């Protein structure tokens, strides 16, 4: 369910009471995320990390995104927990998770060599006889997590920056390629054109037969979706993509 825009209007205008009330009303999202990492850190500590993510979500969320607040907030909440677990040297990864991660990386490398493409998480998990969530937990516990904070915030990223992100370790590589592969064709074309081919929004607007303003909106939408997917919202990927993306059906806006 989409949130009432009124509450965010109050929050944007500095209403701290509204912010506190909305935070307290949504702490259930934090506890839902705490359970995923409960074996790695004290639950209260995880809650405090999640609270940071929830506050970031409250401060950054815009109802115009067209998604529910929970869809937007959960990846940010989990992101804070994952960032801490990634960075702290005190986290002990179980031997089983290390073995799964090592085997997965070896298998993924073999598949890359034989097929010339990045395998998806589902492919690797299926061949290993694992649930995809178990595989991702193992990889998540033993690898850095790729964050696209700058992209989600709408900031421009140079092609070289994006390419360096693609060159990150296995988890990031197959997750990013998996996410790109699941984007609707028009959204993927815009991302690949902008960040891999170095095309301008105007050039893409000419190719796709839509306005430059619409290309800009779709680019932001695609980057938002990619970040949500990479930070844990993969299960809601189709919901995030909802809407008309049949570019040529839209009348061109005046440029």
């009303």: which residue's tokens?
Answer: 25
pLDDT for the residue 146: 35
pLDDT for the residue 93: 62
Determine the average pLDDT of the residues in 233-240: 47
Whether 61 and 26 have beta carbons less than 8 Å apart is answered as no
pLDDT for the residue 24: 95
18 or 154, which is more confident?
18
Determine the average pLDDT of the residues in 232-242: 49
If you average pLDDT over every residue of the chain, what do you get?
72
Q: Where are the domains of the chain?
A: 1-92
The pLDDT > 70 percentage for the chain reads 66
The pLDDT of residue 13 is above 60: yes
d(CA 182, CA 238): 9
174 or 185, which is more confident?
185
pLDDT for the residue 157: 32
Side-chain-side CA neighbours of 164 within 13 Å: the count stands at 7
d(CA 122, CA 157): 29
pLDDT for the residue 66: 66
Kindly report, residue by residue over 88-145, the tens digit of the pLDDT: 644 456 778 878 888 888 888 788 778 877 677 788 889 999 887 778 777 766 654 3
d(CA 180, CA 71): 19
Kindly report, residue by residue over 184-210, the tens digit of the pLDDT: 889 988 887 776 666 777 888 889 999
Kindly report, residue by residue over 54-94, the tens digit of the pLDDT: 999 898 888 876 667 887 888 888 888 877 876 664 445 67
pLDDT for the residue 124: 86
DSSP, residue by residue, 35-94: TTSTTTS-HHHHHHHHHHHHHHHHHH--GGG-S-HHHHHHHHHHHHHHHHHHH-TTPPPP
The pLDDT of residue 178 is above 50: yes
| pTM summary value | 0.43
pLDDT for the residue 140: 64
Identify the CATH class of 1-92.
Answer: mainly alpha
Report CA-CA distances (Å) from 164 to 89, 156, 161.
25, 15, 5
């Amino acid at each position: 369910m989409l949130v009432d825009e009124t509450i965010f209007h109050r929050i944007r205008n500095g209403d701290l009471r509204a912010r506190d009330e909305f935070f307290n009303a949504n702490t259930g999202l934090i506890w839902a995320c705490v359970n995923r990492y409960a074996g790695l850190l004290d639950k209260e500590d995880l809650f405090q990390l999640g609270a940071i993510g929830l506050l970031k979500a409250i401060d950054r969320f815009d109802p115009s995104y067209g998604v529910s607040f929970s869809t937007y907030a959960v990846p940010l909440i989990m992101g804070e927990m994952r960032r801490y677990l990634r960075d702290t040297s005190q986290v002990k990864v179980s031997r089983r998770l290390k073995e799964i991660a090592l085997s997965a990386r070896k298998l993924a490398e073999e598949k890359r060599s034989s097929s010339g493409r990045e395998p998806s998480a589902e492919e690797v998990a299926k061949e290993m006889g694992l649930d995809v969530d178990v595989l991702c937990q193992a990889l998540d516990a033993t690898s850095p997590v790729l964050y696209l904070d700058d992209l989600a915030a709408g900031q421009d990223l140079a092609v070289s920056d994006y390419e360096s992100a693609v060159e990150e370790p296995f988890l990031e590589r197959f997750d990013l390629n998996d996410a790109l592969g699941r984007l609707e064709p028009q959204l993927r074309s815009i991302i690949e054109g902008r960040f891999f081919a170095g095309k301008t929004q105007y050039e893409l607007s000419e190719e796709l037969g839509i306005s430059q303003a619409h290309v800009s909106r779709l680019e932001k939408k695609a980057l938002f979706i990619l970040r949500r997917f990479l930070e844990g919202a993969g299960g809601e990927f189709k919901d995030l993509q909802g809407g008309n993306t049949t570019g040529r059906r839209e009348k061109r806006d005046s440029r």
